[in-house]
Amino acid sequence: MIYDISVTALIFFCIFVGLVLGLSFYFGRKKSDSSSYYAAGGQIHWAVNGIAFAGDYLSAASFLGICGMIAIAGFDGFLYAIGFLAGWIVALFLIAEPFKRLGKYTFTDALNSKFNSRAITLAASVSTLIISIFYLIPQMVGAGDLVMPLLGLPHWAGVILVGAIVIAIVASAGMASTTYVQFLKGGLLIVLSLILTVYILKNGLSLSPGTKDNPSHTFIELEPQVESAGVAAVDGWEVLSQQEVSNKTFVKLRQNGVERWFYLTEKDGKPTLKETLTIVQKANGEKLYNGETKDKRKFYQVGHLSKIIVNGKEVEKTGAVGPFEFLSTIKESDVVRFLQTKLTDGTDQVAVYYPEVTAGAKFMLPGLKYKIGTDASLWSKLDFVSLMLALFLGTAALPHILIRYYTVKTPRDARKSTILAIAAIGGFYILTLFMGLGAAVNGVMDVESSNMAAPLLAKAFGAVLFSVISAVAFATVLGTVAGLIVASSGAIAHDFIDIYLKKNLNDDNKVKVGKIAAVIVGIFAILLGMAFKGINVSFLVGWAFAIAASANLPAILFLLFWKKTSSTGISASIVVGIVSSLAIILTSPTMWDKYGLGAENAMHQLENPALISFPLAVLTVYVFSMLYPKKEVSALVEA
């Protein structure tokens, strides 16, 4: 995508990010003794805490990822919203209260509360580290995507920028994700999404989206003369060559010295050439966008409806629509999505994005990404089940999610906060459906990355809305990244070096080790963020959820609900959970594609590991607890 920098957007963006960061620092500098903490315990209003809870939870994955996934794969993106929210049920009904009774608030501490075993400390700190890193990857990818249209910087620069800011903050002062900052972020994100949704509905659906000053590009269609050997001639264009890639035919044409690729398909029974978007990587390193250099700005945003049907009649545009009408009209209409393929043309590497007309009825059903119809393969069905399992069980097992549950005084307030959080997050997720679909039909999609769907949609409605939404999203990413880096450096410095290796560091050294660990984790996160560019962030978060569900949840559930659980069972289950889920992820088609070996050659076709790794971890905790039962000494240690 080629982005123009908008000065207005940039100014608003800086003001907003500055405001959030400033607040964070301002409160961070005020120091006093910890006794005031006790006095304030319970001072916080449960409603503030509830929205702050939502602010904690709604990371880049929710806002950028889900909207983006809905925009390119329709209902399949909404599966993430359903699963992310369902996870809260596990957290609220099964985990939160028993945890509180154990008097422990992190997984490591809770798991170890009955045993005080070094093996558990080691296993739990490794799992915290790995889950945090897998959660960091999508945040970094999202950060890079966000910075591109705002500052006109390439993706890698955005990733480094975020990484550097966060490392600087964490290593110098330590950025707190305070209740107030999270409250502000969570509240703003929900309000802005509501505003965006109102814009979408007011705008309605149109065959030619975009405003008068800024119309969206109309994609051309040509009628070729086709002979048995292929396209013979096209009016006004010179036919250069023809290629077939995975059953799709692409034709290279030339006009006014510019070479373009067209997709040969049929429309109303006649052969038709449809305009595609291409990025050509020349052997000499030159990059051509739609056959021209970058400065010509001949690369477009995509996504529109090719046919709108209201009450059985075809219309040009609908005008303002209600929420149900919006969803049902899309269901009846035809959506044009742009799919990607790659081809080699002589020495040129060509990335082609070609239009594919998808019936709205299909778009509003699961199946475009996770194929689950009758004709779907067993692998893709398993993949779907696996994803839903990971999302359901992952939330409660993420190291950083439950903490806020324990920051209000009474159990009643904790519960009320959580329920408000569920309502706020649930409401937000319903809005993602509208924002995602809105992005899909309003000609705003960036073909190179789906993650910017919601902010780019906001851009179509105005620079200010765009910059404010981007700023909130960016602040969210910063906060989440900072929190995760602190969590993982804590796992290294506190759990691993101090407790496991029994180094007995003094406080100064502990902080020093922690900071070094934070810098290393931060740099690692930057590198991974660059490596995973272009992959949808929700998809990546799905992995973090799967690892969390496999490594932590079986152990914690057995500890809470099965008296015979032993320390060996717990540590073995964490290890098996991590190893099996990691092994499946690292051999998955997406990774195979990243290694450059081609997704179709992967060792298996399962994208999400939870379906295998979770039961395996459950089995492990059971078998090992039976083989190596609880030692009685533990009671003494606990006392």
Partner 1 sequence: MRFFTSIVYRTIVDYQHQNNQTFYKPFEPLFMHVNSTTEEKEIVTKQKSKLGVRLFFIYLICYAGFVALGVFNYELLSTTVFSGLNLAVVYGIGLIVFAVIMGIIYNYYCTKYEDAAEKGDTK
Site for partner 1 in 121-180 (CB under 8 A): 174, 176-180
384 binds partner 1 (CB under 8 A): yes
Rounded least distance, CB 325 to partner 1, Å = 7
Contacting partner 1 within 454-483 (CB under 8 A): none
Contacting partner 1 within 41-60 (CB under 8 A): 41-45, 48
Contacting partner 1 within 343-382 (CB under 8 A): 361, 364-367, 372-374, 376, 381
Which of residues 185, 260, 494, 533 is near partner 1 by CB under 8 A? Answer: 494
* Alpha helices for 587-632 (secondary structure H): 589-595, 610-627
16 close to 467: Cβ distance less than 8 angstroms: yes
Rounded least distance, CB 34 to partner 1, Å = 6
Rounded least distance, CB 383 to partner 1, Å = 11
Q: Which stretch binds partner 1 (CB under 8 A): 39-47, 138-146, 157-165, 192-200?
A: 39-47
User: How many other C-beta atoms are found inside a 10 Å radius of the C-beta of residue 544?
Assistant: 24
246 close to 265: Cβ distance less than 8 angstroms: no
358 close to 337: Cβ distance less than 8 angstroms: yes
69 binds partner 1 (CB under 8 A): no
Of 181 and 458, which CB lies nearer to partner 1 in the complex structure? 181
Rounded least distance, CB 61 to partner 1, Å = 16
Q: Name residue, tokens 């810098």.
A: 519
118 binds partner 1 (CB under 8 A): no
Contacting partner 1 within 290-309 (CB under 8 A): none
Planar angle of CA 370, 371, 376, nearest 5 degrees: 150
Alpha carbons 547 and 525: distance in angstroms, whole number:
17
Which of residues 56, 145, 275, 498 is near partner 1 by CB under 8 A? Answer: 498
- According to DSSP, the β-strands at 248-255 and 258-267 are antiparallel
**Contact track, partner 1, 430-459, x by CB under 8 A:** x--x--------------------------
Contacting partner 1 within 232-261 (CB under 8 A): none
Question: For 367-497, where are the E strands, in sequence order?
Answer: 442-445
Which of residues 328, 341, 587, 605 is near partner 1 by CB under 8 A? Answer: 328
Contacting partner 1 within 515-534 (CB under 8 A): 515, 518
409 binds partner 1 (CB under 8 A): yes
Q: What are the angstrom distances between the C-alpha of 452 and each of 87, 539, 568?
A: 25, 14, 45
Of 104 and 298, which CB lies nearer to partner 1 in the complex structure? 104
Rounded least distance, CB 353 to partner 1, Å = 27
Between helix 118-151 and helix 567-586 the angle, nearest 10°, is: 30
Q: Which stretch binds partner 1 (CB under 8 A): 25-33, 210-218, 293-301, 614-622?
A: 25-33
Amino acid at 571: S
Of 214 and 374, which CB lies nearer to partner 1 in the complex structure? 374
21 binds partner 1 (CB under 8 A): no
Number of residues that bind partner 1 (CB under 8 A): 99
Helix (H, G, I), strand (E, B), or coil: what is residue 279?
A: strand
Which of residues 62, 127, 358, 418 is near partner 1 by CB under 8 A? Answer: 418
Rounded least distance, CB 403 to partner 1, Å = 6
| DSSP codes joined into one string, 261-273 | EEEEEEETTEEEE
Alpha carbons 48 and 70: distance in angstroms, whole number:
30
Burial status of residue 153 (CB atoms within 10 A of its CB: 0-12, 13-18, 19 or more): middle
Q: Which stretch binds partner 1 (CB under 8 A): 33-41, 338-346, 468-476, 522-530?
A: 33-41
Alpha carbons 522 and 159: distance in angstroms, whole number:
11
* Alpha helices for 492-536 (secondary structure H): 507-531
Contacts 24+ apart (CB under 8 A), 243-247: 243/343, 243/345, 245/341, 245/342, 245/343, 245/352, 246/341
Helices then strands, counting H and E runs in the chain, come out as 24, 16
Alpha carbons 127 and 113: distance in angstroms, whole number:
17
Alpha carbons 159 and 481: distance in angstroms, whole number:
11
338 close to 302: Cβ distance less than 8 angstroms: yes
Measured over all CA atoms, what is the biggest interatomic distance in the chain, rounded to whole angstroms? Answer: 88
Q: Which stretch binds partner 1 (CB under 8 A): 11-19, 23-31, 158-166, 439-447?
A: 23-31
Q: Which stretch binds partner 1 (CB under 8 A): 75-83, 280-288, 464-472, 537-545?
A: 75-83
Alpha carbons 51 and 187: distance in angstroms, whole number:
6
Which of residues 106, 193, 203, 442 is near partner 1 by CB under 8 A? Answer: 106
Rounded least distance, CB 74 to partner 1, Å = 10
Contacting partner 1 within 570-589 (CB under 8 A): none
Q: Give, as one character, the DSSP assignment of residue 406.
A: G
Contacting partner 1 within 76-95 (CB under 8 A): 78-79, 81-82, 85-86, 88-90, 92-94
Of 6 and 132, which CB lies nearer to partner 1 in the complex structure? 132
Amino acid at 239: V
Which of residues 162, 189, 239, 486 is near partner 1 by CB under 8 A? Answer: 486
422 binds partner 1 (CB under 8 A): yes
Which of residues 5, 423, 586, 597 is near partner 1 by CB under 8 A? Answer: 423
503 close to 497: Cβ distance less than 8 angstroms: yes
Rounded least distance, CB 40 to partner 1, Å = 4
503 binds partner 1 (CB under 8 A): no
104 binds partner 1 (CB under 8 A): yes
